[in-house]
């Protein structure tokens, strides 16, 4: 085990896969000699050369389309979005081509592409740089979506995503790149379709992902002090949802709280609520509670930005309200 930062874990995983498979390449803005906007590919250009680290113009639609074409011919491209918000410029390529070509070609083509990069609400990055694109892409057929939250799952997820035959979007959070954790020295993979039970408990199921995992864990300390026993699940797989793990928890606790940084309208929380109500309604002893970001563009002002995102105190209050609910 060695303590490393989350961006270093991503770099390790990507480097291991590039060493293992010469068909893996990286495409994006400043991914080569600059080393990536958050240094995930630092030193790679010198090691692998310019043909496997393709520095592109500021043209997301074009280089994402080029990567999809490369995947169709048997390569395994990793596209880095300098900021996830910029990938809205490539929405047509991701939705109409990456997600659909396997199906519309009658299975003649597979699209083993990974699209990754920083997103989420940062510290005063403004509305355009604080996008949570999981809400945009979750309805696109053919795409898989995963969100890393720790160095351990970041490394395992990027390795699994690169090896997958499906197009995978890996969501990273801009405020988690400097998170430290001990990561195993030996090679390992993390399942792209499996949730992680972070803390077993019996009183309430808290479903979360990405940065909110750490807000929930912070709130859990207060909750345990107050006598509550929450079960915390990092859903990791945003599409498809791991309803098996979620069901086992809901059947035990009978109460659900969803905590997300995504917007309330049309977000991951809305999909989770719909799935739980459809499949697990009879096991619920209280309405599903959902804490989401407000449906407003993220303000530049620091205090206003903080007000748009769920804070640990709100999680504590929501659990107390759920556990005191009477039918």
Residue ranges covered by each domain of the chain: 2-183, 196-323
Beta-carbon contacts of residue 291 (< 8 Å; ≥ 6 apart): 257, 258, 259, 260, 310, 314, 315, 318
Q: Is 196-323 a CATH 3.30.230.10 domain?
A: no
- The yes-or-no answer to whether 2-183 and 196-323 have a common fold is yes
Query: In angstroms, rounded to a whole number, what is the distance separating the alpha carbons of residues 227 and 291?
Result: 22
pLDDT means per 10 residues in the chain (327 residues)?
96 97 97 93 95 95 97 97 92 95 96 96 88 91 97 98 98 96 96 98 98 98 97 98 98 97 92 97 97 92 92 97 89
Ramachandran category for residue 169: left, alpha or beta (phi over 0 → left; psi -120 to 50 → alpha): beta
- Which are the catalytic amino acids? 60, 129
What residues does 172 pair with on adjacent strands?
Answer: 118
CB 259 within 8 A of CB 206: yes
Fold designation for 2-183: Rossmann fold (3.40.50)
Residue 128 is predicted with a pLDDT of: 86
Q: What is the pLDDT at residue 141? A: 94
Would you state the pLDDT for residue 173? 96
List, in order, residues 6 or more apart from 89 with CB less than 8 Å away.
60, 61
Contact 155, 5 (CB under 8 A): no
The pLDDT score that the predictor gives to residue 131 is 87
Measured distance CA(249)–CA(232) in Å, rounded: 9
Q: Which pLDDT value is given to residue 123?
A: 86
pLDDT of residue 327: 72
pLDDT at 122: 85
Listed in sequence order, the DSSP H helices in the chain are: 6-20, 44-48, 60-72, 91-92, 101-104, 134-137, 151-163, 212-225, 243-253, 268-280, 302-308, 312-323
Q: What is the pLDDT of residue 231?
A: 98
- The pTM score is 0.95
pLDDT at 218: 98
């Amino acid at each position: 085990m060695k303590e490393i930062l989350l961006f270093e874990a991503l770099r390790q995983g990507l480097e291991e896969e590039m060493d293992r498979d010469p068909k893996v390449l990286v495409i994006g803005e400043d991914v080569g000699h600059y080393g990536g906007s958050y240094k995930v590919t630092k030193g790679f250009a010198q090691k692998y050369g310019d043909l496997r680290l393709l520095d592109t113009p500021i043209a997301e639609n074009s280089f994402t389309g080029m990567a999809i074409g490369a995947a169709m011919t048997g390569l395994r491209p990793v596209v880095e979005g300098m900021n996830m918000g910029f990938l809205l410029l490539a929405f047509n390529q991701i939705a109409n081509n990456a997600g659909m070509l396997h199906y519309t070609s009658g299975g003649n083509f597979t699209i083993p592409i990974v699209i990754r990069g920083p997103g989420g609400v940062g510290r005063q990055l403004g509305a355009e740089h604080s996008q949570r694109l999981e809400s945009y892409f979750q309805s696109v057929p053919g795409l898989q979506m995963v969100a890393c939250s720790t160095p351990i799952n970041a490394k395992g997820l990027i390795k699994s995503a690169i090896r997958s035959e499906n197009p995978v979007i890996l969501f990273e959070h801009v405020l988690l790149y400097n998170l430290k954790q001990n990561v195993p020295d030996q090679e390992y993979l993390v399942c792209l379709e499996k949730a992680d039970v972070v803390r077993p408990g019996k009183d309430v199921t808290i479903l979360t992902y990405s940065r909110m995992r750490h807000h929930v864990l912070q709130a859990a300390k207060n909750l345990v002090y107050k006598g509550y026993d929450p079960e915390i699940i990092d859903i990791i797989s945003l599409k498809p949802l791991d309803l098996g793990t979620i069901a086992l928890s809901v059947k035990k606790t009978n109460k659900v709280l969803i905590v997300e940084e995504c917007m309330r309208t049309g977000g991951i929380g809305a999909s989770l609520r719909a799935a739980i109500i459809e499949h697990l309604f009879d096991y619920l002893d209280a309405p599903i509670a959902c804490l989401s970001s407000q449906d407003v563009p993220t303000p530049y002002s620091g205090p206003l930005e903080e007000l748009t995102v769920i804070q640990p105190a709100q999680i504590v209050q929501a659990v107390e309200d759920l556990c005191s609910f009477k039918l």
